[in-house]
């Protein structure tokens, strides 16, 4: 067929961007409640107006295409608005992890070259020690939290009032333009900036809506932090379907049960620690669910007691796997016919798998990293989990060496080791990067080890993941005291770390003694993990 005279034009080609989801929802469902936060209610018309005001105010503050705008806030309406208002200017949204310390936040802001910071007043004290000189700061005062310190010269509502919602929205000229920037610890002390594009955000949000069965009647509870790779793109997916966002500032069992009962929540996502939290919640805060609640979880696979406990309360658990580098979910453990009839132990074994590629991801495979050939689908042969498709990041910001390694051979290398089962389902067996995932947070063991090595009485140190009934896993430190020095106590080592790291990164336990090594002197972390698991 000769179609050389058929050209791409505005009538038949529009760059994909999730900005369009809000514009569509406001047009089709203007009066529908889009956001619930405590006593606040915003319709889709109001959410769109506020987002457009934010975009206008940012332009008037000197923000333009390619500029980075950071936000440090929990799951609030302002965080949602930033996911639309910032990209409406062509700027790049940087969502900051509210659990990080000032040193980490400061590094991220400087590395990203952020020009403006929106900060919830609960976190202004941390931000004060992190903001580079000359950065514009806008304070967010949330009625659901005690008012904190003032850091910026402008308050968020006053900032919005200075914007004009009638100003035209800037849609991307190229869907490859960056929409967001997220920082992940990786395996080094300094985090890497993951650059996401409009196309990937659009497609992954659409995939979430499809895979999680979101509809205009869906009520989504924000227990997953929106700062985690844009809330796995559910910040956009729920809006795509015209569902209702229920914001939750603090993830506590009582607040979760109350929100589900009050608002008829149908969907939520959470780290495994939240599932455990709900199962072991005091009877005084529990409430019967008004209907089935679909809950998606990622990170450590949910063990059978957790699955059983959640099902007994009326939750339907879905296991996902992904990384910040692939917009959150990359694989999903889709149920097969007959799964519900399996005994719990057998069913839990199946649900522990990371599954098959997410709807808009082109391919997920387990490959031999040396030959780049697929490993046998026998459920036993280890390989590296690799991904390719439109929902993989643009790359790491200003880090060519990391990008070369990440994209070698035409695939994104996750660094996770897994097997391929005969039915085509992937199961992750180990983390090649030695990352500890605690309560959904990535912790670099090398970063913790660097702090331990700085202790004057420690000669060697290694940190591995230890199983934990609440957090899924936590850092456990193995240290060898320096000869001739007074050996530190476990409490002293933990205190040393807490003075130098964000508290969630610190070891919860410390073991003392010689470290197992290979003939070349490399510490054998697999043996240390085995000690903690009784193998």
The answer to whether the Cα torsion of 443, 100, 120, 169 is positive or negative is: negative
Task: Give me the pLDDT at residue 158, please.
Answer: 98
DSSP 482: P
Proportion of the chain in helix, strand, coil states, percent, rounded to 5 = 35, 25, 40
pLDDT in tens, the chain (535 residues): 999 899 999 999 999 999 999 999 999 999 999 999 999 999 999 999 999 999 999 999 999 999 999 999 999 999 999 999 999 999 999 999 998 999 999 999 999 999 999 999 999 999 999 999 999 999 999 988 777 889 999 999 999 999 999 999 999 999 999 999 999 864 345 789 999 999 999 999 999 999 999 999 999 999 999 999 999 999 999 999 999 999 999 999 999 999 999 999 999 999 888 888 898 899 999 999 999 999 999 876 777 778 888 999 999 999 999 999 999 999 999 999 999 899 887 888 898 899 999 999 999 999 999 999 999 999 989 899 999 999 999 999 999 999 999 999 999 999 988 899 999 999 887 666 677 888 888 787 877 887 898 899 998 899 999 999 888 899 999 999 988 889 999 999 999 999 999 999 999 999 999 998 754 456 788 889 889 875 4
Q: In the beta sheet, which residues pair with residue 436? A: 443
Q: What is the pLDDT of residue 457?
A: 92
- Whole-number pLDDT of residue 469: 86
User: How many CA atoms are closer than 13 Å to the CA of 397, on its beta-carbon side?
Assistant: 25
Dist CA 521 CA 109 (whole Å) = 37
pLDDT for 430 equals 67
The three-state (H, E, C) secondary structure of 75-111, written as one string: CCHHHHHHHHHCHHHCCEEEECCCCCCHHHHHHHHHH
What confidence score (pLDDT) does residue 178 get? Answer: 98
Asked if residue 96 lies in contact with residue 151, where contact means CB atoms within 8 angstroms, the answer is: no
Q: How far apart are CA 419 and CA 365, in angstroms?
A: 9
Per-residue pLDDT at 309: 87
CA 230 to chain centre: 7
- Dist CA 445 CA 427 (whole Å): 23
pLDDT of residue 433: 64
Burial (0-12, 13-18, 19+ Cβ within 10 Å), 283: exposed
Output the pLDDT for position 186.
Answer: 44
pLDDT at residue 435, rounded to an integer: 75
Cα–Cα nearest to 117, from 101, 102, 95, 99: 95
Alpha carbon separation from 214 to 52, 96, 515 (Å, rounded): 25, 27, 50
Are the beta carbons of 220 and 243 closer than 8 angstroms?
Answer: yes
The whole-angstrom separation of Cα 123 and Cα 145 is 11
Q: Quick one: pLDDT at residue 189?
A: 52
Cα dihedral 97/98/102/108 (nearest 10): 20
Residue 399 neighbours by CB under 8 Å, 6+ apart: 192, 193
pLDDT of residue 520: 41
* C-alpha to C-alpha distance for 65 and 86, rounded to whole angstroms: 10
Are the C-beta atoms of 526 and 494 separated by less than 8 Å?
no
- C-alpha distances in Å from residue 476, one per residue of 149, 319, 470, 473, 515: 35, 26, 15, 9, 13
- Contact criterion met (CB below 8 Å) for 150 and 124: yes
Catalogue all structural domains in the chain, each as residue range(s) with its CATH number: 19-250 (3.40.50.12780), 362-431 (2.30.38.10), 435-533 (3.30.300.30)
Q: Give the pLDDT confidence score for residue 202 in this predicted structure.
A: 98
The backbone region for 66, taken as left when phi is positive above 0, alpha when psi lies in -120 to 50, beta otherwise, is left
At 157, give phi and psi (nearest 5°).
-65, -40
Alpha carbon distances (Å) from 338 to 154, 162, 509: 58, 58, 42
Is residue 387 exposed (0-12), middle (13-18) or buried (19+ Cβ within 10 Å)?
Answer: buried
- CB-side exposure of 276: number of CA atoms within 13 Å? 17
Cβ partners under 8 Å of residue 54, min gap 6: 81, 82, 84, 85, 86, 88, 159, 160, 163
- Residue carrying structure tokens 């658990």: 317
């Amino acid at each position: 067929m000769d179609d050389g005279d058929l050209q791409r034009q505005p009538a038949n080609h529009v760059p994909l961007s999730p900005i369009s989801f809000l514009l569509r929802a406001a047009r089709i469902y203007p009066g529908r409640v889009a956001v619930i936060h405590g006593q606040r209610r915003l319709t889709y018309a109001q959410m769109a107006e506020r987002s457009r005001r934010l975009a206008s105010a940012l332009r008037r503050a000197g923000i333009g295409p390619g500029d980075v705008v950071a936000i440090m806030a929990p799951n609030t309406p302002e965080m949602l608005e930033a996911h639309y208002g910032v990209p409406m200017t062509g700027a790049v949204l940087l969502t900051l992890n509210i659990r990080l310390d000032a040193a980490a936040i400061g590094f991220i802001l400087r590395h990203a070259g952020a020009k403006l910071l929106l900060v919830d007043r609960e976190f202004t004290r941390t931000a004060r020690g992190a903001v580079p000189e000359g950065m514009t700061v806008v304070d967010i005062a949330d009625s659901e939290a005690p008012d904190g310190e003032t850091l910026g010269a402008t308050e968020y509502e006053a900032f919005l009032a200075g914007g004009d919602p009638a100003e035209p929205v800037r849609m991307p000229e190229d869907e490859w333009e960056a929409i967001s920037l997220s920082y992940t610890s990786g395996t080094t002390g300094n985090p890497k900036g993951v650059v996401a594009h409009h196309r990937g955000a659009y497609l992954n949000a659409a995939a979430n809506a499809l895979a999680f069965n979101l509809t205009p009647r869906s009520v989504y509870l924000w227990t997953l932090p929106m700062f985690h790779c844009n809330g796995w793109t559910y910040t956009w997916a729920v809006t795509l379907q015209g569902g209702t966002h229920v914001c939750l500032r603090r993830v506590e069992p009582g607040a979760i049960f109350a929100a589900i009962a009050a608002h008829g929540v149908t969907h939520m996502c959470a780290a495994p620690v939240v599932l455990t939290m709900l199962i072991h919640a005091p009877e005084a805060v529990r409430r019967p669910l008004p209907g089935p609640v679909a809950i998606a979880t990622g990170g450590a696979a949910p063990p059978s007691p957790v699955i059983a406990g959640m099902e007994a309360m009326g939750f339907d658990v879905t296991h996902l796997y992904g990384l910040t580098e692939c917009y959150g979910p990359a694989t999903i453990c889709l149920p097969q016919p007959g799964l519900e009839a399996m005994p719990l132990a057998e069913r839990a074994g199946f649900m522990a798998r990371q599954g098959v590629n997410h709807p808009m991801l082109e391919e997920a495979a387990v490959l031999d990293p040396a030959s780049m050939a697929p490993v046998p689908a026998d459920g036993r042969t280890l390989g590296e989990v690799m991904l390719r498709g439109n929902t993989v990041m643009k790359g790491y910001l200003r880090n060519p060496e990391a990008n070369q390694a990440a994209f070698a051979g035409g695939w994104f290398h996750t660094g996770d080791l897994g097997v391929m089962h005969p039915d085509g389902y992937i199961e992750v067996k180990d983390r090649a990067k030695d990352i500890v995932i605690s309560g959904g947070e990535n912790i670099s063991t090398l970063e913790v080890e660097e702090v331990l090595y700085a202790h004057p009485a420690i000669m060697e140190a290694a940190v591995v993941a230890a199983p934990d009934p609440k957090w899924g896993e936590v850092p456990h430190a193995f240290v060898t005291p320096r000869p001739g020095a007074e050996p530190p106590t476990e409490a002293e080592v933990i205190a040393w770390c807490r003075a130098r790291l964000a508290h969630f990164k610190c070891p919860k336990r410390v073991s003392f003694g010689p470290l197992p090594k290979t003939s070349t002197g490399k510490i054998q972390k697999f043996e240390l993990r085995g000690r903690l698991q009784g193998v």
